[in-house]
Amino acid sequence: MNPVLEIKNLSIDLHADRKKFNVINNVNLTINKKQKYGIVGESGSGKSLTSLSIMNLLPAPLNIREGKILFEESKDLTKLPNKEMLKVRGNDISMIFQEPMTALDPLYPIEHQIMEVLRFHGTYSRKQMKELAIEMLEKVGISRPKQLMAEYPHQLSGGMRQRIMIAIALICNPKLLIADEPTTALDVTIQAQILDLMSDLTENYDTSILMITHDLGVIAETCERVAVMYSGEIVEETTVENLFSNPTHPYTIGLLESVKSLGDRTRDLYSIPGTVPTPKQLTGGCRFASRCPYATAICREQAPPLFSVGTDHQSRCWLYGKEEVING
């Protein structure tokens, strides 16, 4: 297996009131070439911060305390000078967000925005850029690409805008596409179309995906492997198949319960009681303890490491404490 991206022991702190608060704790994950990898968690779980740190886009009060982010086994993105990182962004790794309206510039027609990426990363003539742009718009399912090139973002629907974002993200044939809640703002039928489109295109381009979502349904549809994040930590990591057939962490089990109750009208809607603790509220011990129905004394005193709970399956919970420790 050739990894395209490896996150090693990544910890990020928030600097506020002259103190440091931990927001990402010792995250490890590996995305292989052509793999579709998902990170799932509620808001405040640190999933978006993890993706921003890959792109070197962490806002100022946040600082990487420790760790490496290796691109293609050699380039440590946390140490890359800004100039080098500009070449990586949009070319080797690109990103699409929840709300394409904020990523597209309202002042320019689509033609300008899609060609800008090619202008920045390539040495094409204007004619070549135009041809490539039209070809890419066709690939994302836009039927009259020439006409659309002259339009402005506000003239288009949310689904169309997200198709254009996908075109812009894939036009330089990146090795990795990071998609942060790419379909959350769209209605359900459009959501499914966009997820299919992303899956098909990345397969054709041999692009790996890092899918960031709060929605286990999106993970089931698009991913092969998954990390469940809670309060800045990976609490369970395995194949998507294992996660759904044999969830082990009490938080994952709670998330799956809430999805099941959504689909079953005879049951009350279930959601895990309580909220994700803020970085300032962390007290040591298991970060899920205040919401966990299985919590015991050790849970409140000592933070659990990741335990191996089966083939290719890890869980951060003292319930599995007798198994072998994978890492802290």
Footprint of ligand SF4 (CB under 6 A): 250, 286, 288-289, 292, 294-295, 299, 304, 317-319
Q: Which is nearer to ligand SF4, 120 or 294 (CB)?
A: 294
243: number of Cβ within 10 Å: 27
Residue 46 binding target from ligand SF4, Mg ion, none, CB below 5 to 8 Å by type: none
Residue 230 binding target from ligand SF4, Mg ion, none, CB below 5 to 8 Å by type: none
Nearest to 2 by CA among 30, 42, 44, 43: 30
CA distance 203 to 212: 18
Q: Which range of residues in 45-53, 182-190, 221-229, 269-277 is near Mg ion by CB under 5 A?
A: 45-53
CA distance 88 to 84: 7
Nearest to 135 by CA among 122, 125, 146, 147: 146
Residue 288 binding target from Mg ion, ligand SF4, none, CB below 5 to 8 Å by type: ligand SF4
- 183 near Mg ion, judged by CB under 5 A: no
Q: Which is nearer to Mg ion, 178 or 243 (CB)?
A: 178
Kindly list the strands in the beta sheet with 75-76, ordered across the sheet, starting from the edge strand earlier in the chain. 19-32, 3-16, 62-71, 75-76
**CB 51, CB 95: distance < 8 Å:** yes
Copy the structure tokens of residue 278.
């803020």
Nearest to 316 by CA among 275, 291, 285: 285
Least distance (Å) from Mg ion to the CB of residue 222? 17
Residue 159 binding target from ligand SF4, Mg ion, none, CB below 5 to 8 Å by type: none
Least distance (Å) from Mg ion to the CB of residue 185? 12
Number of H helices, E strands in the chain: 12, 13
Q: Which is nearer to Mg ion, 211 or 292 (CB)?
A: 211
Q: Which is nearer to Mg ion, 48 or 315 (CB)?
A: 48
Q: Which is nearer to ligand SF4, 232 or 250 (CB)?
A: 250
Backbone phi, psi, residue 140, to 5°: -90, 15
Q: Which is nearer to ligand SF4, 73 or 301 (CB)?
A: 301
Residue 97 binding target from ligand SF4, Mg ion, none, CB below 5 to 8 Å by type: none
CA distance 241 to 55: 29
Q: Which residues pair with 94 in a beta bridge?
A: 177
Least distance (Å) from ligand SF4 to the CB of residue 170? 39
Q: Which is nearer to ligand SF4, 83 or 322 (CB)?
A: 322
- 213 near Mg ion, judged by CB under 5 A: no
Residue 264, Ramachandran bin (φ over 0: left; ψ between -120 and 50: alpha; else beta): beta
Residue 136 binding target from Mg ion, ligand SF4, none, CB below 5 to 8 Å by type: none
Residue 292 binding target from Mg ion, ligand SF4, none, CB below 5 to 8 Å by type: ligand SF4
Least distance (Å) from ligand SF4 to the CB of residue 289? 4
- 48 near Mg ion, judged by CB under 5 A: yes
Would you report the helix, strand and coil content of the chain in percent, each value rounded to 5? 40, 25, 35
Backbone phi, psi, residue 299, to 5°: -60, -35
Q: Contact residues for Mg ion (CB under 5 A)?
A: 48
